[in-house]
Each structure stands twice: as structure tokens, then as C-alpha cells.
Amino acid sequence: MAKIITLFSLIIILLIGDRLRAFSYSTVPSPGESADEYSFAWVGLSLIEDHYPIAWSGLPAYKEHDYQKINVDGLFNLDPYRPPFAIDKPWFDHPPFFGLITGGYSYLKGARDFIDARTFLIRRPMLKIGILTTVLIFILGYKLYGSKTGLLAALLYSTIPTAVVSSRLALSENGYIPLFLSALIFFIYYLEKKKNYYWILCLVTSSIAFFFKLSAVSIFISLTLLALYYGKEQKVWMIKTLVLFFLGCVFLWVVYGVYYDWGTFIKVLSANSNRFYGGGAEVLFQAISQFKITTTKYLTDGWILLGWLSLVLVSVTEFKKSLGGNILTIASFSYLIIFIILGSESYGWYKFPFYPFLFISIARMLYRLFSEKNIFVLLVFVLLPIGTSVHRLIGVEGFQQYVAIFRLCAVFVFGIFILNLRKRGKGVQLLSEIFMFLIFAFAIFFSIKEILFITAEKWISVT
């Protein structure tokens, strides 16, 4: 019966998440706000049609740029002074696998020219990838902490504004996040079943992710650290096979470059490694405190700050003490190293791979706080996202009519807190549980309201 309830709950969460993700998906974020979406789709289209990688880049490594005003999504109607796309070939900015997904889908739907690859088309696969990611977050949370934590993490990923809005973008990070999660899940099965083919599946998924974007090397780093910690007598074999798969990926990437244009390939790699270090010395501070979605657009979200706090708490209290603490810490740290090396805080999507681990950490901490009846900490936690959501929905002026209710609730919470200090009866515990459930339900409710509030017209002024 418990499994049926869990499955039914997951299906409901998936349906809610899919509806929220599909709401204004082609217009929020605005088309062209991240022109990389077009770049990935175009390289996929060109590989399918011309068997040659062509897309926009603008990196100085390319011999000459073909500047074109490709009026996809009517971008140049909206802004005639928008800089034209610098079309480059052969395009080596990133490996081609993700482009084959978005470009391939566009091709199947009739797109033959770059102008046909509109956000309405190229973001459609992301809606399905979002469902897959939600399922994998549930599975990982379930394997680490149980079904309740898994469901809670899946619910958070399906209703948190930043998660929903960012998952609509047709960018390679959103493409390899499911592969990152799959690799970790296969590793857990390897530990449980002691079957070598699960480790091979870890390496296969990591290798596929490598050809989505090179930053997916963080998955190999995660598996290396996990193998060193859990490998025991199989440690040497695990590391050897991992190195073999990784070198195979590098070899195939080099072969791809040699096949099309070795000289340009090397120049592009060099140009990418010498990009402006946008985060500066405060790269970590910006990653935690700023809420970028694209290069210029911010979406302030208390859930993300709560996620970082939760991840730190999970790491401090559970690292080297539980499988969940180890995997969340190692996976997050591995990607953090790549994030710092790339120094790409100016690109909001470089933070997307952190999100599944942040949300599982939130779910873990909320479950612990609920189990321990820690009203004070739970209230502090949940007020972060409630505050940012309500502020976006009604603003400071609109909030004034609710100040009396807000203050009354604060007094009520204080009263429950005092009762918990003085009495431990079932009635007090039940009252505490009802209150904690209601405040979390309000947080989810306001998050959903916020997502539905952010239409294309509202998105322009969102910060």
C-alpha cells in the first residue's frame, strides 16, 4: 500500500511540475536572452542537414565570422539594433550531443533553416527532460534517505520558481543533469548489488554527458572520489576503468576536431580556456548570493539560499557518517571545483547542476526538522522562500494590509515554541506538526503562485 501511495504521489508531482514548466515556456525566459539556446540547436541542425557543425559563436579563434541577422523569434523586429549573429564553422565551442537533441527535434518538426529553430520548438524537449530529471531526483533522494525525502525533493524541483524557469532553457547543463543523477544512482546500485556492470553504467552515462558539455567532467571527478572512498578491494579496477573511459572520451573529442579542422579546434579550446573570469575572486560568494538565470537576468529566490544553507548543514552533520551526506557533499564539491575553474558566474546556467543537490538537501533538512519538531529553525528556513515569493507577488506596499496578520502569526508561533519547551504531550506535538505542515504548504502555494505570476510581460521587470 505504501508503494502505491508513493507512486501516486510521484505521478501527481510530475503532472504539477509538467504543467508549471509548460506555462509560458517559450516566452519565459525571453527568446534570445540566452542566445546559446539557438547555438546548440543550429549546430544540431547543421550536422543533420549538412554533416558539418555550423552555429553562432563570435570567439576570436575562428578565422572569419559571417555576420547574419537571422530573425529567429522575430528578434530583429523587436530590436533592430541587436548585434547580428556571428556564424562560425566548423563550430567547436562545445561537443555536439545536446545540439543533436534540440536541433534534431526541430528537424523532426519541420525546421530546415536556422530561422525555423524557434524557442517554441527547441524548448519542447526540455519539458520532457524536466520530467525525467524530477523522476531521477526522486530516485536519488529515495535511495539516500527514503521515499518521503525523495518525494519532497521531487516536489521542490517541480515547484521552486528558479528550478521551473531555468529548466525550460534549451541549454546543455539541463541536458546532462539527468546523466549526472543517473551516474550517482547507478553507483548506489553498485554498492548495493556488488555487480560490476553498474559501475560500467556509471561510466557510460558519464561519457555521454562529456559530449554534452566539457564541464560534465565533474561527473568523472565525483565517481573518482566515490571510488576512492568506497572502492575497497575493487578500487584499483574502478579507477582503471574510469581512466580508460575518460581517455576514450578525450580521444573521440580530439578525433571530432581533427576530422573537421584541427587548427580551428585547438584555437577554440585555447580561446575557451582564456575567457574573461567573470566571477572574480568572489566567485563563490556570487554563486551563493546572486540569483542569475541567464547572463543578465536575475530571479531572486529564497529557496536557492535555503538550498545552500541546507547543503552546508547536511555536509557538516552527515559527511563521512552516511551515504547521503557523502554523495551530496562529493557531487556538489566536484562540480564546485569545475565551476570555480571555469569562473563563469556571468553565465547563470552554469549553476544549474547544483540545483538537484540543493533540493535534496532542503528535503533532508526539512524532514529532519519536522521529525524533531524544531519549529524555530523550520520557520526560519521556510520564511526565506515565502518572503521572496510574497514580495514578488504583492510588493512592499501591497504587504502593508497583511502586516497585522503577519505579526499575529509571529505571536502564535512564539506561543507554540513556548509550549514545546514546557510540555511534551501528544496535543502539543500534534499542534506543532499541523503548524509545520501548514507553513510548508504555504511556501509551496506561494511558489506556484509566483511561477504563474511570471508571464512574458512580467518577466521583463523581474529581478
- 175 with 257, same domain? yes
Strand partners of residue 55? 88
Q: Is residue 234 pLDDT above 60, yes or no?
A: yes
Q: What is the pLDDT of residue 186?
A: 99
Q: What is the pTM of this model?
A: 0.96
In the chain, the number of structural domains is 3
Average the pLDDT over each of 173-177, 259-263, 433-437 and give the range with the smallest value. Answer: 433-437
Length of the chain: 463
- The Cα angle at residue 444 between residues 440 and 446, in degrees rounded to 5: 115
235 with 283, same domain: the answer is yes
Classify residue 79: in a domain, yes or no: yes
CB neighbour list of residue 318: distance below 8 Å, 6 or more residues apart: 324, 325, 326, 328, 329
Single residue among 104, 124, 144 that ends a domain in this structure:
124
In a domain, 363, yes or no: no
* pLDDT grade for 248, boundaries at 50, 70 and 90: very high
- Domain membership flag for residue 267: yes
Confidence of residue 293 (pLDDT cuts 50, 70, 90): very high
CB pairs under 8 A, 24+ apart, for 370-375?
Answer: 370/433, 370/436, 370/437, 373/420, 373/429, 373/432, 373/433, 373/436, 375/413, 375/416, 375/417, 375/420, 375/432, 375/435, 375/436
- The pLDDT mean for the chain works out to 93
Domain shared by 50 and 182, yes or no:
no
**Residues 322, 143 contacting (CB under 8 angstroms):** no
Q: Which helix (H) or strand (E) holds 68?
A: strand 66-68
Percentage of residues of the chain with pLDDT beyond 90: 76
Same domain, 286 and 400: no
How is residue 343 written as a grid cell?
569562473
For 347, list phi and psi in degrees, rounded to 5: -105, 110
Pick the last residue of a domain from 94, 124, 154: 124
30 within domain boundaries: no
Mean pLDDT of 399-416: 84
321 and 435, same structural domain?
Answer: no
Which pLDDT tens digit goes with each residue over 76-106? Answer: 999 999 999 999 999 999 999 999 999 999 9
Does residue 462 form part of some domain?
A: no
Residue pair 5/133 in contact (Cβ under 8 Å)? The answer is no
Looking at the structure, do residues 425 and 349 belong to the same domain, yes or no? no
State pLDDT tens for residues 330-370. Answer: 999 999 999 998 865 578 899 999 999 999 999 999 999 88
Query: In this structure, what C-alpha cell is assigned to residue 175?
Result: 541536458
* Per-residue pLDDT at 282: 77
Q: pLDDT category, 170, cuts 50, 70, 90?
A: very high
pLDDT at residue 453, rounded to an integer:
96
pLDDT band at 375 (very low <50, low <70, confident <90, very high): confident
62 falls within a domain: yes
| 265 in the same domain as 200 | yes
Tell me the one-letter amino acid at 214: L
- Could you give the CA distance from residue 214 to residue 250 in angstroms, rounded to a whole number? 10
Q: Is the pLDDT of residue 136 over 60?
A: yes
Residues 243 and 180 in one domain: yes
Least confident range from 96-110, 214-228, 369-383: namely 369-383
Q: What are φ and ψ of residue 298, in 5° steps?
A: -110, 150
292 — phi, psi (to 5°)? Answer: -75, 145
pLDDT for residue 368: 93
Residues 332 and 266 occupy one common structural domain: yes
Interval 10-32: pLDDT, tens: 999 999 999 999 999 999 999 99
Owning domain of residue 450: 372-456
**Phi, psi of 88, deg, nearest 5:** -130, 150
Residues 87 and 146 in one domain: no
406 lies in some domain? yes
Same domain, 302 and 338: yes
> C-alpha grid cell for residue 208?
555521454
Q: What is the pLDDT of residues 300-315, one digit of tens each?
A: 999 999 999 999 999 9
Give the Cα separation of 123 and 128 in Å (integer): 10
DSSP state, 69? -
Q: For residues 117-142, give the mean pLDDT.
A: 98
Assigned domain for 432 exists: yes
- Do 177 and 157 share a domain, yes or no? yes
Q: In what helix (H) or strand (E) does residue 56 lie, and over which residues does it extend?
A: strand 55-56
Domain limit, last residue, from 124, 149, 166:
124
CA gap 194, 137 in Å, rounded: 23
Number of Cβ within a 10 Å radius of residue 401? 9
Please return the burial class of 330, using the count of CB atoms within 10 Å of its CB with bins 0-12, 13-18 and 19+: buried
Which residue type occupies 433? E
pLDDT of 229 strictly over 90: yes
Question: Are residues 59 and 272 in contact, defined by beta-carbon separation less than 8 angstroms?
Answer: yes
Which three-class secondary structure state does DSSP give residue 86? Answer: strand
**168: phi then psi, degrees, rounded to nearest 5:** -75, -25
Confidence at 291, pLDDT banded by 50, 70, 90: confident
Reading phi first (left if > 0) and then psi (alpha if -120 to 50, else beta), residue 56 is in beta
Cβ(88)–Cβ(62) below 8 Å: yes
Give residue-wise pLDDT tens across range 439-461: 899 999 999 999 999 999 999 98
Q: Which long-range contacts (CB under 8 A, 24 or more apart) does 333-336 make?
A: 333/225, 334/218, 334/219, 334/221, 334/222, 334/225, 335/215, 335/218, 335/222, 336/284
**Residue 412 pLDDT:** 79
Name beta bridge partners: 86. Answer: 67
